Amino acid sequence: MALMTIVARLALATLFAVAGTAKLVDRAGTRNAMRSFGAPKRLVGLLALLIPLAELAVAALLLPSQTAVVGAGGALGLLAIFTVAIALTIARGRAPECHCFGQLHSAPASWKTVGRNGAFAALAVIVLVGSVAEPAPSAVAWIGDLEPAGVAALVAAGVALSLLVVGGFALTSLMRSYGHVLVRLDRLEAALAEAGIATSAEETNGIGLEPGTPAPWFLAPTPEGGGISRDDLLAPGVPVLLLFTSPHCGPCTDLLPDVSRWQHEHAGELTVAVACAGPADAVGAEATEFHLVGALVDESAAIASSFEVAGTPAAVLIASDGTIASWMAAGRDEIEALLGHALAPAGGDSGLPIGTTVPSLELPSLDGETVALEELRGRDTVLLFWNPGCGFCGEMHEELVAWEQTANGATPRLVVVSSGDVEATRAEGFRSTVLLDPEYAAGTAFGAGGTPMAVLVGADGRVASNVVAGAEAVLELARRPARAEPAALRR
């Protein structure tokens, strides 16, 4: 019994030491997990520090025999809190990342997570009962009594565990760096393309299936147990934007809230479908958390392979006649651009009809004031739909800020409508009026399918141009001569 208790204590101490250390190393991820599980905003930072410290304290208490009972009780208490929080979250139909072991391992919370915690709790019970019934020596004393062969085996196991932990952190860091490199490479390719220099992707006519060829047929299961085929997606008679994602892909997860919004806002003109290369339970958890419609389970990535997907997130446009309508778009920026292309009506006109009264919307400004769009009268105004996280916005940011500094009243005034958060938007340093629109309500109301896009509002408070997209078109709109509203029409 004493040997079993010591082994259980060492295993439990190692478990809590690894969990606590991993959470402290990834404080940002730990805070996100706290928010996902419903922790009050003002307590998120404190809990993200106290919980890993409590786990490390439990690990330390489990080693000496004098404090093993306290350590086992603390382990049971923490596991009970974690299990109740996870169970309540699942009962509400949500499945956020548990972040139980920081960056080393994080998966959507599920009943499997509850069962795993139950196994850990059983281990803590063994330690508690064993320590009370027959107090065992401390882990340090027990190690001192081992034969040389036992000590060598224990040292080898410790080294192996340390290498595993260090290797896990190194791999995570490497993958993050690789992601940053890919983002910079995307921006470099975009800059080269704008300068008229072809990249390797352009020289090979893009990535994926060639536009104009038939889209591969597929029948994919859904998390609910049904099935959706290519023909089912095409049945409404509108184009299909087919996105490809994979579990535990950070950029994919960041994109899914926007995908859900696209599904609901553009249901009548575009079908947005998501094929996830993961098991049904993981796909179902994501579909529930982000309110996705008709998620497809592509566990073996067979659908992705048939469309020649090279990585995730990616997307392809399928025309209503079942043919490929675009090369593969990779990453958020290209996917958003593809969405805008799919929603742009034939002929290039976009947005509300010219002459339409500005929608009645009120948005907060960075200064905390509420501004009604219908009050933008008396002078031509360019409404610029912006997102600090949009790569295309970043590419034109410097030129736009330079234009602001030279504006002298002869051109329309600029009003930036940002869908980013306050901090990121404020960091852009705009001199013009900046309004916050995190739900993209104004962009939707004006018919703008993405960022950067802009529309000219006349001095009379009516739409005076089509919605334009891209740096060149936006700046051309901003440089038009401004017109003032006739005095007789002013309020």
> Considering only CA atoms, which of 6, 7, 33 is closest in space to residue 19?
33
Question: In 3-state terms, what secondary structure has residue 236?
Answer: coil
In the block, tokens 């009548």 appear at 268
- Domain assignment present for residue 186? The answer is no
- % of the chain beyond a pLDDT of 90: 20
Q: Do 16 and 127 share a domain, yes or no?
A: yes
Amino acid at 37: F
d(CA 235, CA 238): 8
Q: Do 315 and 406 share a domain, yes or no?
A: no
Mark which of 91, 125, 145 sits at the end of a domain. 145
- Domain assignment present for residue 158? The answer is no
Q: Do 230 and 99 share a domain, yes or no?
A: no
Tokens standing for 70?
């306290």
- Is pLDDT above 80 for 321? yes
- Domain assignment present for residue 415? The answer is yes
Q: Do 368 and 331 share a domain, yes or no?
A: no
Q: Do 132 and 10 share a domain, yes or no?
A: yes
Contact 487, 468 (CB under 8 A): no
- Domain assignment present for residue 412? The answer is yes
Q: Do 51 and 134 share a domain, yes or no?
A: yes
> Considering only CA atoms, which of 210, 378, 227 is closest in space to residue 308?
210
Q: Do 14 and 140 share a domain, yes or no?
A: yes
Tokens standing for 19?
């969990």
Q: Do 369 and 437 share a domain, yes or no?
A: yes
Q: Is the dihedral of CA 311, 314, 319, 321 positive or negative?
A: positive
d(CA 11, CA 73): 15
455 sits in which H/E element? strand 453-457
pTM of the model: 0.38
d(CA 138, CA 330): 55
Query: CATH number, domain at 309?
Result: 3.40.30.10
Q: What's residue 324's pLDDT?
A: 92
Q: Domain range spanning residue 26?
A: 2-145
Q: Do 113 and 22 share a domain, yes or no?
A: yes
- Domain assignment present for residue 399? The answer is yes
pLDDT in tens, 409-428: 788 899 999 988 898 899 99
Q: What's residue 406's pLDDT?
A: 82
d(CA 62, CA 70): 8
pLDDT in tens, 275-317: 999 889 889 988 999 999 889 999 888 999 999 988 889 999 9
CA neighbours within 13 Å on the CB side: how many for 164?
A: 10
- Domain assignment present for residue 417? The answer is yes
- Domain assignment present for residue 234? The answer is yes
Q: Do 36 and 106 share a domain, yes or no?
A: yes
Question: In 3-state terms, what secondary structure has residue 237?
Answer: coil
Contact 10, 60 (CB under 8 A): no
> What is the largest distance, in Å, between two alpha-carbon atoms of the chain?
100
Q: Do 319 and 248 share a domain, yes or no?
A: yes
Tokens standing for 156?
């080898």
pLDDT in tens, 345-371: 543 446 788 888 888 889 999 888 899
Mark which of 114, 145, 176 sits at the end of a domain. 145
HEC states along 199-218?
CHHHHCCCCCCCCCCECCCC
pLDDT in tens, 225-234: 889 999 999 9
Count other Cβ atoms within 10 Å, centred on residue 57. 16
pLDDT in tens, 169-214: 455 455 545 554 555 565 565 555 444 444 443 333 468 898 889 9
- Domain assignment present for residue 213? The answer is no
Mark which of 126, 145, 164 sits at the end of a domain. 145
Contact 27, 48 (CB under 8 A): yes
d(CA 208, CA 324): 10
Contact 490, 459 (CB under 8 A): no
pLDDT in tens, 1-30: 566 777 888 888 888 888 888 888 877 777
CA-to-CA separations, 429 to 128, 214, 285, 412, 425, in angstroms, rounded: 58, 47, 39, 19, 8
Top-confidence residue, 121 or 43: 121
Q: Structural domain tally of the chain? A: 3
Q: Do 470 and 431 share a domain, yes or no?
A: yes
